[in-house]
Amino acid sequence: QAMEKSRPLWDNPLQFVFACISYAVGLGNVWRFPYLCQMYGGGGFLIPYFIMLIAEGMPLLYLELAVGQRMRQGSIGAWKIISPYLCGVGVASVVVSSFLSMYYNVINAWAFWYLFHSFQDPLPWATCPLNSNRTGYEEECEKTSSTQYFWYRQTLNISPSLEASGSVQWEQALCLTLAWLVVYLCILRGTESTGKVVYVTASLPYCVLIIYLIRGLTLHGAVNGLVYMFTPKLEQLSNPKTWISAATQIFFSLGLGFGSLIAFASYNEPSNNCERHAIIVSLINSTTSIFSSIVTFSIYGFKATFNYESCINKVILLLMNAFDLEEGSLTADNLNEMKDYLMATHPQEYAQLSPQLKNCSLEAELDTAVQGTGLAFIVYSEAIKNMEVPQLYSVLYFVMLLMLGIGSMLGNTAAILTPLTDSRVIAARFPKEVISGVVCFINCVIGLIFTMEAGNYWFDIFNDYAATLSLLLIVLVETVAVCYIYGIRRFEKDLHTMIGRKPNWYWKIMWAFASPLLIISLFIFYLTDYILTGTLQYQAWDATQGQLVTKDYPGYALVVIGLLVAASTMCIPLGALLTFIRKRLKRESISTV
């Protein structure tokens, strides 16, 4: 039987939906989905994306919400009720959420840093700073761009490699402390405080996105970006990575396997219609991804057009000065013809000038694919600096990033705190405020690693390896456990008790067959991908070249990667083994008596 113990509830179903949206609609919708569209066929990527939403996203989201609502427990307690041998599944979810919380709030720290600098005029990333002699610009900045320099040097003060760890950057450490303080205040009183905050963290990003959409569509060159996005490249549908990427995006953008959705659902009324809410949250999450892509590609188009026209103007100026041409005789329209003419009439002079003449291409600018922090803190800031009233758009953008980041952090911390507050041993000794404070403090202290000079490299390690394989295994075990251990018929009866009707054939087929097969396919793909990759590598910043270079991970980093994967995945078999041993010892002690 599900534990019918007293626990706080959401004020109303709408508050629960807002909490789920605030958690599920995160930074991945803004900086991951547009990148995938760009890489895998533009508008054509939407075909596999929606197929995966129907086959994988909605069914698994419904399953997690139903389990949390029925069992009235966090992830550890919920799976323990289904079967004592599954206690490790909940522990694995808590471990993965802990890893995520350790590094994810650093993004909010960076957003605070950029927000504080957004009130300056001009913006500090608009131009390169002067060198110490004030006779020119910083050499590193001249080799790259002002936005990249501000990110890599003035924000991260990044080291040349992972081995050169450097010291903690106190400005970033203060921003991280502020980020954790904000999270602590939001979760201080459980659903009572979180329930109020989610209305803001879920709705404010949409207000900012609408403002950016209106502004983006009026920018010069925005149409180029939108045409690029919506032009389907159907040949990409034959690429297996397109389907794998679509399935992965659905899986991770909904936050499956972390335990957050189970924790949120455990605070629902038992009669809450979790089926309807699973559909609503899934569709809003996917619609937001498309909506944010339209905003992103309108800004991409503006940035690409701006860079393309700047390149053209530099070439025109270079040719006019070199060949003493009349002003107005050389334009963007006749540039190629004039190049051919000058090459034919002045071959030697043109050959000497040729290395300085860049090959300007709008298509090449649009093809430059960027995701993650590169999109959030470099591409967007580069576009913002060229807008009118850049300070206003900068403040709006980084406030939106903060709302998305804090909303996701509320879900991550709920996945950790709910099992702790469900524990009678812990809850009886410490008030909720103390438990929340200890969790935030520990994560904040560990998070200082990511504010060191090599912190961004550690951030990438956690981001790439702390959750991927672990979450796939967790959700696979969850699905198999509900369908084949707890029993699909028993689960049907539970749903009938809660929402007044049994799930239809679509849900049952997805749970029992389609979703597990998809997860197994993803798991095999990632496992073989890691094996075939050979030596794992990372992107390091080379200040002398002003660009990223590829380096091999040192031995100790590979050990950390292995521990990150093992720490969560091994919880599942170890939990089952310990339960078996405990039951065996208990039987033996009874038989001896």
Residue 567 CA: distances (Å) to CA of 91, 102, 104, 554: 10, 15, 18, 20
User: ∠93-98-104 over CA atoms, to 5°?
Assistant: 120
User: Which pTM value belongs to this model?
Assistant: 0.90
Average the pLDDT over 217-234 and give the result.
89
Over residues 47-56, the pLDDT tens digits come to 999 999 999 9
DSSP alpha helices (H): ranges in 324-451? 335-345, 347-353, 362-367, 372-374, 380-385, 390-422, 424-429, 432-447
Instruction: Report the pLDDT value the prediction gives residue 108, as an integer from 0 to 100.
Output: 95
Place of tokens 């993803």: 522
pLDDT of 1 > 70? The answer is: no
Instruction: Report the pLDDT value the prediction gives residue 372, as an integer from 0 to 100.
Output: 67
Instruction: Report the pLDDT value the prediction gives residue 2, as an integer from 0 to 100.
Output: 41
Over residues 388-412, the pLDDT tens digits come to 899 999 999 999 999 999 999 999 9
Rounded to a whole number of angstroms, the CA Rg of the chain reads: 27
Average pLDDT, the chain: 90
Over residues 156-207, the pLDDT tens digits come to 999 999 999 999 999 999 999 999 999 999 998 777 778 889 999 999 999 9
Task: Give the annotated binding-site residues for Na(+).
Answer: 24-25, 29, 253, 285, 404, 408
> Is the pLDDT higher at 5 or at 353?
353
Alpha carbon distance 444, 500 (integer Å): 44
Q: Are the C-beta atoms of residues 410 and 200 closer than 8 Å to each other?
A: no
Over residues 462-473, the pLDDT tens digits come to 988 888 888 999
Domains and CATH numbers, the chain: 15-303+378-592 (1.20.1740.10)
Task: Give the annotated binding-site residues.
Answer: 24-25, 29, 253, 285, 404, 408
Amino acid at residue number 86: L
Place of tokens 């649009």: 366
Nearest Cα to Cα of residue 286 among 12, 19, 32:
32
Alpha carbon distance 465, 49 (integer Å): 23
